Amino acid sequence: MAPGGIFRFCLIVTILAQPAQSCFPRSIRSQVPVKIDPGYVITQVPLDHCGDVGLSLSSSDPHFTVNTDGTIVVAVVSMVTKIRSFQVWVKAGRGQPRRVDVQLIPDTEQLHQYTLHAQSAPWNQAHKRFKRRWSPLPFNIIENALPPFPKEVELIGSDSSVNYTVRYTIEGPGVTQPPMNVFSVVHETGMVIVHRAVDRELYPKLVFQARVTDKLTGKETDRPLDITVLVLDLNDNPPTFLGPLEFQVVEQSRPDTEVGVVTATDRDEAGTPHTQIKFSLLTENQLFNIHPQSGKITTKSGTLDREVQATIPVTVEIRDMNGAKSGLFNTAIATITLVDVNDNPPTFTETILKADVEEDKADLLVLRIPVEDRDEVNTQNWKAKFVITHGNENNDFRMDTDPTTNEGLLYVVKPLDYEKGRLVALIVSAQNEVPLVNSLTSWNTIPVELSVSDVDEGPEFSPLIKVIRVKENTPIGTILGSYMALDPETRSNTGIRYLKVSDPGSWLSVGEETGELKVTNLIDLESDLVTNAMYNITVNAVDPSSKSGMGMITLLIEDTNDNIPVPDDRVLVLCEEEGKRGSVTVMAHDPDLLPYSSPYDFQLSGESPKKWRLRDAQNISVVLEQAVDMPRGNYEVEMRIADLQDKGDVQVVNVKVCRCLGGQCVAATSSVGMGAWGTLALLLALAMLLLLCLLFVVVCNSRGEKMYIDDSSGGMLLHSNTEAPGEEVKSANLLMIPPVGGLDVIDQSAKETGLLDQNRNVSAGDMSGTTQQTMGQQQVYQSSRQDFMSNSVHHQNSFYTSGGQYRGRANYSDSLYQKQANHSLFNTWDTNKLYLDEVFLYLLCLSLTRNNHLHFLLKHSGHLAGTMLSTIYFISARMYSIQ
């Protein structure tokens, strides 16, 4: 080979071999603090120009470690008090390792402060020691370190080893506690040895205890010391995603609209490049962006269209080391769903629609109008709403929407007339339930042509309802006009006949051929057939082909003053009032309407002003009151009542002046004096009292004789040969007397003195005295409880016939003053009196036979007297009311 060729070959080889050496600098200088702790990043060997060839890096100084991205990190706490040098070896594939010289220069100011502090430190003063110290300071190991094991880590030592032969031991986490058997110590030298790798994510720091003892005596020569081993992080964990990667964004959103945030985490040590995550999108598109640090996804343009693509997948990458190529990474697919908006109006499938419809048809579906909408189905953006924008001024049509097919439904709601128009043109607009979001887009419309077909129709009245004003009482035979119908095809009334369908009062006649309207009966506004002054007549028109049409005549009746006001009631009741003259309200009515009715004018006439006067006249009423004192009785009052037009006449009102109870006149009146009947009642009561006293004396002398009360005896006392009260006296039903008046007092007193024993039965002797018969409950005192309760408790609500028979309940105000009740009063009282006399006599005699004469009379004299006085008052009051 020529010398020139050899030279060129060597030059090429040199150039080709150069990249592995020249892709990084030969030396690096970095200024660092005097004391640098583990994890401190010194600098980074730039490897960006070394290509994708796999590189391995290592440090010549174990106090420093080099990551795969070229970052130089402090592994063991170190002091830099002067320029400190070490080498980083870089090896590309199987090539020769290349050296990078690293020089650490201490910070000048910190070095000065450190020197001053060291000179004044106590341990630099001769012969002074304040406490024993161990060495070294906390040291580090690298997580997941590669074999071979075991490896020497650090030498620990106690200054007691100067005076003793010592032995070192360690215990605690990493030794005797989990993780077990990671560290051991050389007993003689204190060298700590690591036996296996440790995962920092599980054990970021291990603290175990070191002890030093005299090898001969076994005694501790120094205090125990806690040794802290920091596990330095390696970038051995890729970042991972957190949460679901599903997002939503509204279509047509503006650029930079937030879609969502991707979150991620990294198990490596926080605050280091190992956990600095960078986010990026691997999908090539022009739709979305992602922030590299926060992970927030935003829209890139405003062209997102759900109708083009409803769901968009994007690939997201998360890479640590702040996105460096040497960083660990993960990828995942994020799904972005576009939310629909109403950006597409409904569109018609045809350009024009046509249909046929018969005249005279109503509520008929004429046409179905199909539309298409690209928006999401069954949403408000998709559901169509149809509007007739032209041709429906008379509201003859209606548009609905089929909820299933979204079609428009065109209905005829009013009958169409062929004679008025054979073709109907409509414009229909298809809209949505919500407005369009794009202001540049408008709703679509379509023309609709409806052809009306002819149908032979019946006659038609014009107008359909004919209103005729007429005064009431219009003379019979008056012609009010005519009501005629026309054939809609010929517009002629030839051959049409007219028939009345409805005329409740037969007020009009309709000419069969002419439709002439004539009054045939009295037209009365006040008739029950009139409503709101209107009376309706229905007429039917029939053509020669028997087709018919209906019409209506409404008579609007005008009022005339054909009625006068009259009183509502011809008979009025005027109730007497204590200390003043009574009054009553007279009310009138007039069926006429204004101005022929109220307010009314009331005037007394004839002889009425001498006894009566009017006051407080109102619209339809006036108060009639007594002008002088008048006895009770019936009076006729003459009064002229006139309407607003002074049309009226004299009316006679019957006024009944009486004593009232409950707003009604009583049946009879009472005099002021007591009268003969009242005096007679008092005399009778006194006579009865004397007779009762005599009976007490006579009966009580027969103390050995028994008595009983029997219905069949008519209230008489029957004698018995029994000497003393027998078993019949023990009947519990003998004296079931209701607590009326003073009877309850007597009954109670008798019980207290032992006169009554309700556990005994009463037996009565035979009327001839030869036989005895045991009396039951009904024999001893049959019906005494029912009759006595009826007479004493309900005497005010019941009445009896002259024979004393009960006839049922009657109103209190009526029965109190009825003459029939007055005539039956004495019979009723006689019946009650018999029961009272029998009870009193029996009780009194029974008491006296028991040797309690004086005790009974003294104890019950007040009750007896009260009872008698009550009896006298009752009879007197009844006689007084009768009179």
Give the mean model confidence (pLDDT) for residues 86-98.
79
Q: How confident is the model at residue 716 (pLDDT cuts 50, 70, 90)?
A: very low
pTM for the predicted model, two decimal places: 0.43
CA–CA gap between residue 175 and residue 195 (Å, rounded): 10
- Alpha carbon distance 376, 438 (integer Å): 16
Same domain, 717 and 853: yes
Last residue in a domain, options 180, 198, 232: 232
3-state helix, strand, coil in the chain (%, to 5): 20, 35, 45
466 and 442 share one domain: no
Same domain, 150 and 58: no
- Decide: 43 and 27 in contact? Cβ < 8 Å: no
Residues 726 and 646 grouped into a single domain: no
Mean pLDDT score across all residues of the chain: 77
Together in a domain, 501 and 420: no
Does 365 lie in the same domain as 443? yes
Please give the structure tokens belonging to residue 246.
Answer: 């599903």
What is the tens place of the pLDDT at every residue in 97-145?
Answer: 888 888 898 887 777 666 665 555 443 433 333 344 565 567 788 888 8
Q: H-helix or E-strand containing 20?
A: helix 19-22
Structurally, the chain folds into a number of domains equal to: 7
Domain end residue (candidates: 209, 232, 255)? 232
pLDDT of residue 402: 95
Angular region, 395: left φ>0, alpha ψ -120 to 50, beta rest: left
572 or 742, which is more confident: 572
- Considering the domain boundaries, does residue 57 fall inside one? yes
DSSP code of residue 728: G
Q: Are both 332 and 379 inside the same structural domain?
A: no
Please tell me the least confidently modeled range out of 4-8, 19-23, 270-274, 807-811: 807-811
pLDDT reading at 490 higher than 90: no
171-180, 510-519, 605-614, 654-663 — which is least confidently predicted? 654-663
- The closest alpha carbon to 805, from 829, 784, 827, 822, belongs to 827
Of 477, 478, 666, 652, nearest to 569 (Cα)?
652
Locate 155 and state its tokens. Answer: 């030498």
- 9 in any annotated domain: no
Q: What is the pLDDT of residues 858-879, one digit of tens each?
A: 444 444 555 555 555 555 555 5
| Mean pLDDT across 296-316 | 92
pLDDT number for residue 322: 92
For residue 349, the model assigns a pLDDT of 92
- Distance of alpha carbon 575 from alpha carbon 410, whole angstroms: 75
DSSP 441: -
Residue 843: pLDDT over 60: no
Q: What is the pLDDT of residue 688?
A: 82
In a domain, 362, yes or no: yes
CATH number at residue 83: 2.60.40.60
| Amino acid making up residue 103 | Q
Is position 23 within any domain?
no
Q: Is residue 327 located within the same domain as residue 419?
A: no
> Of 73, 90, 123, at which residue does a domain stop?
123
Query: Residue 162: inside a domain, yes or no?
Result: yes
The predicted pLDDT at position 63 comes to 84
Distances (CA, A) of 183 to 77, 166, 197: 19, 20, 10
Enter the tokens of residue 467. Answer: 């209103």
Q: Which domain holds residue 595?
A: 566-665
Q: What percent of the chain has pLDDT over 90?
A: 39
**219 vs 784: which has the higher pLDDT:** 219
Say whether both 754 and 785 belong to one domain.
yes
Q: What is the pLDDT of residue 26?
A: 82
**One domain, residues 689 and 788:** yes
Helix (H), strand (E) at residue 696: helix 675-701
pLDDT in tens, 571-601: 999 888 777 888 999 999 988 888 888 999 9
Handedness of CA 267, 271, 273, 276 (dihedral sign): positive
- Residue 18 DSSP SS3: coil
The pLDDT value recorded for residue 833 is 54
Please check whether residue 10 lies inside any domain of the structure. Answer: no
Pair 735, 770 in one domain: yes
| pLDDT 10s digits, 513-553 | 899 999 999 999 889 999 999 999 999 999 888 888 899 99
For the CA atoms of 644, 647, 649, 652, the dihedral, rounded to the nearest 10 degrees, stands at -20
- The answer to the question of residue 129 being in a domain is no
Same domain for 596 and 534, yes or no, is no
Q: Answer yes or no: is 61 within a domain.
A: yes
